[in-house]
Structure 1
Amino acid sequence: MPQTGVRPHDQRMPPAINIIALTTFAASLSARALDPVLPHVADEFGVSIATAASFSAVFAFTFAIVQPALGAAADLFGKARLMIVCLVLLGLANILGALSTSFPLLFATRILAGIGSGGVFPVALGLTSDLVAPEKRQVAISRTLAGSMTGNLLGASASGVIGDFTGWRGVLAVLGLLAIVASVAVAAGFRGAALKRAPRTNLSTLRHGYRTIFSNPNALCYGAVFVEGCCVLGLFPFLASFLFELGETSLSIAGIVIAGFAVGGLFYTLTVSRFLPLLGVKGMMIAGASLVGVQLAVTALGLGWKVQAISLLFMGWGFYTIHGCLQVFASELSVEARATALSLHSFFFYMGQTVGPIAYGFGIQHVGKSSTLLTAAAVMVALGLACARLLRQTRAADTVSSKPQEKGLT
C-alpha cells in the first residue's frame, strides 16, 4: 500500500482509506444497475421478469464462487494489484453487456462482471483491516462501506434515469466506462510500494489460515451473512415488478426506491460511531436485524412508492448495522490470511444473494407476496438474536505470529 505513516495501532484513520473507498464506489456502481431496468430487459428479449431476475442471481453466484480463489490470490500476490485488474474486467464486461444481441450473451457478460466485482470489495475490506486496529475497525470499515453504498445509490438511481433516456444498454455502457476510468485513477493512487512489494504470504500460511478460520467459533458469522443475503438482497430483483403492479412504470421511480437502501447505508456510516458505544456490538446486531424485519413487513403491505422508498432507507440502515458487525467478526478470524477470511465472508453473502431471488420467486408464486415477505421478516429478527447470543469478541489465533507482517503494511 502507499506509505501512509500510520501504523495499525494508530487511532487516526489512514489517508489510504479514501483510496480504498474509491475502489468500492467504482465496483458497486454496477452491482444493482440492472434492477430498475429489468422490466425493459425482459421485454426486449421476450423473457419473464423471474428469468430476467436471474441476472442478479448469476452476478451474485459468480461473485461468490470466485472468492476463495481471489482471496488466496490477494494474500499471495498483493491486494491492490488484484483490485486494479478486476476493475478493468468489470468495465469491459459492462461494455460488452451493452453490445449484447441475445439474452445468453448478456447473461455471460454478467458472469464476467461478477468475477470483476468479486476482486474489489472483499480485498478492499482486507486492506482496511490491515491498516486499522480491531477497536477502530468498525468505524473504518463503515467509511469503506460509504464508498460502496454511494456507488449502490448512484448505480440504482442513475440507472433508472439513464434507462428512461437511453435504455438499459446506455446504463451498462456508461457504468463500464466509469469502471475503466476508476481503474486508472486507482492504479495511480496505489503506485509504488503497494504494486512492487513482494508477496507476504505462501501456500503453507494459507493452509494454516483456513484451519484458523474454521476452527474459530465466530466462523458462524458466515452462516449469518448467507441468511442476510438471502432475506434482504434476494428481494431486490422483484422491487421494480412490485411497483409495476401498483401502476408505477417509470424506471426512475424504481431507481429512487431501490436507492433508498443505499441512503440508509449512508445513515449507518454517519451514526455508527455514536450508536456503537451506546448499544455495543450485541445491541447493534439485534437493533439492525429487527429494523430490517419491520421494513420487510412494511414492504409486504404494498404501499405507495414514496412510503416504500422511506422503508428501504430504514431497511438499509438496519441491514448495514448488523452487517458491519459481522464484517468485523470476519476480519478477526485470521490475520495472516485476512483477505481469504473476508473473501469467504463475501462468498457466503453472495451465495445468499444467489439463493435469495430463487427462494423469493418460489415463495411469491406458491404462497404469495405477503406470506413470503413476512417469513423473511421473522427470519431476520431471529438472526439478530442468534448472532447476539452466539458470536463473541475474541482475537484471532494467529494474531501474535502475524504482528511483524502487520507492521510491514504501513
Structure 2
Amino acid sequence: MRFVDPMVGEISRDLARPAHDVALLASAFALPYALVQPILGPVGDALGKERIIKICLLVLAVSLGLASLMPDLDTLLALRILSGAAGGGIIPLVLAAIGDRVPMAERQVAISRFLLFSISGQLLGGSLSGVLTAAIGWRGVFALAGFLGAAATVAAFVGLRHARPASGTFSVRVAVRRYGAILAMPRARALFAFVFVEGGIIFGVQPYLAPLLDERGLGGAPEAGIMIACFAAGGMLYTLSVRALLRVLGVRRMLMTAGAFGAGPFLVIAAGPGWPLQAAAMLLLGVGFYMLHNSYQTQVTELTAEARASAVSLHAFSYFTGQAIGAPVIGAGLVAAGVMPTLAAAACGVLALGIVSAAVLFPRQRAL
C-alpha cells in the first residue's frame, strides 16, 4: 500500500517521465482499491471469503512481480491499477473471516491484533522501500514485494485450506438485495456515517502537516514524516493495551474517551508549538483514532452473519471515500478560514463523533 511513495523520484529518472506523472502510481493503486471493495464483498459472501482472499493475493503477487519488468510508465500504471483492485479484496474479507471465526466477546481484541500487523506492514513498506531503493533499485523493490506477496499467497493456501463452504454462486441480484438489507439497518447506516466522518477528519488533515510546519518555520517533510510515524505508533500502543482498555472502560466509554483523545491533538497542532510536541500530539491522535476505528470495525462484523463480507466492504468503502473527500474540504477550510478555526472545527468534530457514536451504538446499556 505504501512502498511506492519513496521511489517516485527514482522511477521518474529511470523512465524519463515527470515526477508528477509518476506520482499517479499512488492514485492508480488507491482508487481501484476503494472502488472494488463493494464488488468483492458480496463475491466473497457467495463464493467463499477464503477463496477470494487467495485469488486476490495471487493476483497481487503476480502484478507486483511483473511491475519490476515493465519498460514504461503506462504499463506500470496498468499493473498498479490491477494491484490496487486485488489489494482491495484482502483486508475487508480478512476482517469478515475473523468475524466468522471469533466470538463477539473476543472479536475486538482479535481485530486489534490484525490491525497491529496491518499498521506494521504499512510503516515498514513506506520506510524500508526508500532505503532498499538505493541498494537494489525500484525494480528490485517491486520484485521483493512480489516475492513477499507470493509468500503470503502460499501461507493463505496452507493456512486457509479448511475454509468454510461457500453459500452459493454469485448473483448481482442477490448482492443488491443484501446491500439493500444492510442499508435498511439504522445501525449499519450509523456505522458507515461514523467511519466516513472519522476518515475525513483525521486523514484529511495529514497531507497539510508538512506545509503547516514549513509555513511556520518549524520543519518540513522529514518532521512531518516523523509525526505521521508517531500516529502509527499510537495505533500500535492501542493494540497492545486494548484488552486492558476494554476491561477498564468498556466499548461505550472507550468511544467517548477516543473522542477526547482525538480532539486535543488538533488544538495542539493549531497552536503551532515545536514539532516534537506536535509529534507527541500525533501519538495521542493515533491512540484515539484506533480506539474509534477498531470499535467500529468490530461492530460492523456483527451486523449480519449472512452477508458479513458485504457489510465490512461497504464500511471500508465509506472509510476510504471519507478520506478522499476530507483532504480537499480541510484544505478549503485552511484557505478560507485559517488554521485555528479549521483545526478547532476538526477537534470539535472528533469529540462529537466519539460522544454521538457511543450514544447511538450503545443506548442505555452497559458497555460490552
Calculate the TM-score normalised by the size of structure 2. Answer: 0.82
Task: Say whether 1:199 aligns with 2:186.
Answer: no
Question: Is the 1:301–1:370 contact (alpha carbons within 8 Å) kept by the matching residues of 2?
Answer: yes
Residue 261 of structure 1 is matched in structure 2 by 231
Decide which moves more: 360-369 or 291-300: 360-369
| Preserved CA contact (<8 Å) 2:9 2:19 | no
- Report the 3-state secondary structure (helix = DSSP H, G, I; strand = E; otherwise coil) of the residue aligned with 1:292: helix
Residue type at the aligned position of 1:180? A
- Give the Cα separation in 1 of the matches to 2:265 and 2:48: 40
Q: What is residue 280 of structure 2 aligned with on the other side?
A: 310
1:118–1:351 CA distance, 2 compared to 1 (3 A): same
Q: Partner amino acid for 1:141?
A: I
Structure 2 counterpart of 1:218, which letter?
Answer: R
Q: Residue 212 of structure 1 corresponds to which residue in structure 2?
A: 181
In structure 2, relative to structure 1, the CA distance for the partners of 1:393 and 1:53 (3 Å cut) is farther
Distance 1:286 1:37 in 2: 40
Tell me the amino acid that sits aligned with residue 293 of structure 1. Answer: A
Q: Which residue of 1 aligns with 2:320?
A: 350
Whether 1:284 and 2:254 are equivalent positions in the alignment is yes
On the 8 A contact 2:211/2:220 being kept in 1, the answer is no
- Label 1:249 to 1:212 Cα distance change in 2 as closer, same or farther (>3 A): closer
Tell me the SS of whatever aligns to 2:353.
Answer: helix
Residue 129 (structure 1) shift: 0.5
Query: Which residue does 1:65 correspond to in 2?
Result: 35
Q: Secondary structure at the match of 2:351?
A: helix
Cα distance, 1:131 vs structure 2: 0.9
SS in 2 for 1:33: coil
Question: Does residue 157 of structure 1 match 2:145?
Answer: no
Report if the CA contact (8 A) 2:56-2:89 is conserved. Answer: yes
Distance 1:161 1:106, change over 3 A: same
Output the amino acid matched with 1:125.
L
In 2, the alpha carbon distance for the partners of 1:170 and 1:60 equals 22
RMSD after superposition: 3.4
Cα deviation code 1:80-101 (max 9, x no counterpart): 2211222233334445556667
- Aligned residue number for residue 21 of structure 1: none
Fraction of identical pairs, as percent = 39
* Structure 1 length-normalised TM: 0.74
1:87 aligns with 2:57: yes
What amino acid is the match of 1:223?
Answer: A
The aligned amino acid for 2:310 is: T
8 A Cα contact 2:67 2:79, kept in partner: yes
The AA in structure 1 aligned to 2:201 is C
Aligned to 2:344: 374
Are residues 310 and 42 of structure 1, via their aligned partners in 2, closer, same or farther at CA, if it must alter by over 3 Å? farther
| Alpha-carbon distance in structure 2 between the residues aligned to 1:173 and 1:304 | 40
Segments of structure 2 that go 5 or more residues without pairing to the other structure are none
Q: Which runs of 5+ in 1 are unaligned?
A: 1-29, 395-410
| Partner AA of 1:216 in structure 2 | M
Give yes or no for the alignment of 1:275 onto 2:245: yes
Residues 355-401 of structure 1: CA deviation (Å, up to 9, x unaligned):
2333344444554555443332222122112212222489xxxxxxx
Matches of 1:244 and 1:52, distance apart in 2: 24
TM-aligned CA distance change 1:360 to 1:86, over 3 Å: farther
1:158-173 equivalence runs, <5 A? 158-162=128-132, 172-173=142-143
What SS is found at the alignment partner of 1:119?
coil
Please tell me whether the aligned partners of residues 237 and 287 of structure 2 are also in contact (alpha carbons under 8 angstroms): yes
1:121–1:199: structure 2 CA closer, same or farther, 3 Å change rule? same
User: 1:405 corresponds to which residue?
Assistant: none
Choose the corresponding residue for 1:123, options 88, 93, 104: 93
**Is the 1:67–1:118 Cα contact (8 Å) retained in structure 2?**
yes
Structure 1 residues 226 and 258: alpha-carbon distance in aligned structure 2, compared to 1, 3 A threshold: same
| CA apart distance, 1:125 | 0.6
Q: In 1, Cα distance between the equivalents of 2:67 and 2:311?
A: 31
Q: Where does residue 18 of structure 1 map in the other structure?
A: none
Compared with structure 1, are the counterparts of its residues 361 and 93 closer, same or farther at alpha carbon in structure 2 (3 Å cutoff)? Answer: farther
CA distances 1:151-187 after superposition (whole Å, capped 9, x unpaired): 1222233234445666766654543432232222222
Distance 1:84 1:389 in 2: 39
Classify 1:254/1:118 alpha carbon distance in 2 versus 1 (closer, same or farther; 3 Å): same
The equivalent of 1:183 in structure 2 is 153
Task: Write out aligned runs for 1:11-30 (5 A).
Answer: 30=1
Distance in structure 1 (CA, Å) of the matches to 2:54 and 2:296 = 26
Q: Is the CA contact 2:8–2:19 (under 8 Å) kept in the aligned structure 1?
A: no
Q: Report deviation, 1:301.
A: 4.4
The Cα of 1:277 is off from its aligned counterpart by: 2.9
Query: CA separation of 1:254/1:218 partners in 2, compared to 1, >3 Å: closer, same or farther?
Result: same
With over 3 angstroms needed to count, the CA separation of the structure-2 counterparts of 1:81 and 1:154, relative to structure 1, is same
Out of 310, 317, 323, the position equivalent to 1:340 is 310
Aligned length: 357
What is the deviation of 1:289?
2.5
Q: 1:62, CA displacement in angstroms?
A: 2.1
Q: Determine helix, strand or coil for the equivalent of 1:232.
A: helix
The 1:277–1:261 alpha-carbon spacing in structure 2 relative to 1, beyond 3 Å, is: same
